[in-house]
A and B are shown apart, each in its own frame.
Chain A
Amino acid sequence: MTSSSTTSSSKGTAIALRGATLRFGAHLIWENLDLDVTPGECLVILGPNGSGKTTLLKVFLGLLPLSAGTITVDGRPPGRGSPTAGYVAQQRIFDPDLPIRGRDLVQLGVDGRRPGLPRTRASQVDPAIEAVGAAGYADAPVGLLSGGQQQRLRIAQALVGMPRLLLCDEPLTSLDPAAQEEIVGVIDRHRREHGTTVVYVTHEITPVADVVDQVLYVAAGRWAAGPADTVLTTQTLSNLYGTHIDVLRVGGHVVIVGEGHGH
């Protein structure tokens, strides 16, 4: 456990982890993780399946306690679920019959946690719907929309409460490159305009390569953090995995060869 002296260094940081360790039973997810994310920064969390990326977002949201170490979000330990954090969950395609329209989905981001009957107010949701370019289909049943359209509405739901922190779990999965680029553009414009701290969990750095400030790479219980150019190198990742990994840069794409093997 870290002493309280670390809290002074976490003032003015959006997220601060000190010696953060998470275990499920005997299974170690990651260990002694130190991380500082400054407000308005864009953090990208990379790593193979099962390396605890989504789990880390749940720690940021206060939904999972650390096994050891400390975490502060906006200078405080996170509560259980956060009304001030926006969260875009791993994409599930909505059922076509789901009795909810796009704007109702966004409205839940405003008042979904409060008691009462659902009421959708245009004045509360329209700005967010327009910001993600979803105005043309916000009145359609969400289940009838394409994956990219559904994803924009989820992002609008996450942004509508003007969160200080936006957490996106694989927001680009199942989208083609053009749609990925647009989604990243929408989120980054919001970040620049409002100073929102943005965290992506993703498999691939390429779609977010232009917006990332810091990369956290987790694998096999270990981690490396820093600017993309220093973390995503053959040497760093080979050290991290304990086996040879090739990092190739081809025409703006970063290809990591060998990740996930021997894991």
Chain B
Amino acid sequence: MYWKQIHAAWFGIHFFLLTAVCFAGVFWLIAQGSTILSSAFDEYARRAELVATWCLGKEARASNPLRRGIATYLHAAGIQAGYSFFAPNVPSQHRLTFELFYDDGRIEYESPRMRSKAAALRLESLLDRLPEERYDSVREALVKMLAFSVWRKYPDVKKLRATLDSVHAPGITEFEQGKTETFQPMFSFDFSLRDEQKQ
């Protein structure tokens, strides 16, 4: 009997949440100063982002039932992230290289690999997330696990050094001048079977 009202109410709530998610993402980009807008907008964008995240319950305690309920719904509907792919600019690519040190002094180089291209895309997605600030707390653990996945293939390795580089691709003009990509090391970790050391 009330199916229209119920559907309309769901429609309103659903798209209200989606609006908040999308604009939180856009305001975050502006607040980061990564857009063509003047830095005068940064502070307003930060405030607007706060309003949007407040609507999503993200300002409440992590154990707040409303916050959890909204987060569960957003994930279930696949609308937890905004749609600013490759925006405002295409992000830099990242490369993870492992130096494998053997007992006899040999050094080999290896990268984490997947069998299929579809899975390789996912690995790239993970590598691009590693330098992000929000993954600071899990970065070392993630790199350690990636290192362990390589280690399983080379059990004779004594020590392993993981280095994440930011890859700077040449622009069109630079490419025409014969320039190739350059690598900027971002961080590296040393791992051994018994202990691991951060550099």
**A and B associate:** no
